Structure 1
Amino acid sequence: MSGFDERKRGQEGKFAHDQEMEFKVMVRRNKLLGIWVAELLGKTGADADAYAKEVVISDMEEKGDEDVFRKVRGDIDAANVEMSDHRIRRQMEELLSVAREQISAGN
């Protein structure tokens, strides 16, 4: 195998690993977001865990964060909880950082 082929295979492997890690980070962020919103909605225990799973699943609708945002925004509105779009998006960003740290640490 030539040096070029070895480098190519190495780069493909790194790309696949990076994509897998990013997927794990997003799933973790969405779970953390779901737990945060569940608390706002007054859910605890198994209900909060089930809601967090709903938030994770909502991210499968389309690429990007808008599907997740729409899910939690709609649920917050339905529960008549006062929360700005900015606050939700800021929380999503903060939890993304937390999720990256947790996944990097192997948690």
Structure 2
Amino acid sequence: MTTFDDREKAFENMFAHDQEMQFRIQARRNRLLGEWAAAKMGLTPEETDAYAKAVVQADFEEAGDEDVIRKLMGDMTQAGIDIDEAGVRAALDEQQVIARRMFIEAQ
């Protein structure tokens, strides 16, 4: 029975590790996305840092990416940036690839 218990524990550990990696990649993606949007809005370096943190925090409002997209769309529209949801989603996908690559290279 210990072999089964050991395998079960190993799978649980692997699952927890994978979930943590996904969380870190998503947080990095959101930070990069915030920096991208801040550059579009012409924010200062200090404002960019604060805005990127706000985008990361926005992701905790609900499951999925809709909360982040809603925040970016609202902020960019308010700043007078002409962008549609498809543009934000494309940037989100690009930043996802970059964040994943950064995370893999760091290991």
Fold match, TM over 0.5? Answer: yes
Match of 1:86 in 2: 86
Match of 2:17 in 1: 17
Shift of 1:44: 2.2
Q: In the aligned structure 2, how far is the partner of 1:105 from the partner of 1:18? A: 16
Shift of 1:2: 1.4
Match of 1:38 in 2: 38
Q: In the aligned structure 2, how far is the partner of 1:62 from the partner of 1:5? A: 35
Shift of 1:28: 0.1
Q: How many residues align?
A: 107
Shift of 1:68: 0.2
Match of 2:99 in 1: 99
Cα deviation 1:26-47 (Å, max 9, x = unaligned): 0000000000000111102111
3-state SS, counterpart of residue 106 of structure 2:
coil
Find out whether 1:55 has 2:62 as its counterpart.
Answer: no
Query: Structure 2 unaligned runs (5+)?
Result: none
Identity value in percent? 44
Cα deviation 1:16-62 (Å, max 9, x = unaligned): 00000000000000000000000111102111000000000000000
Shift of 1:106: 1.5
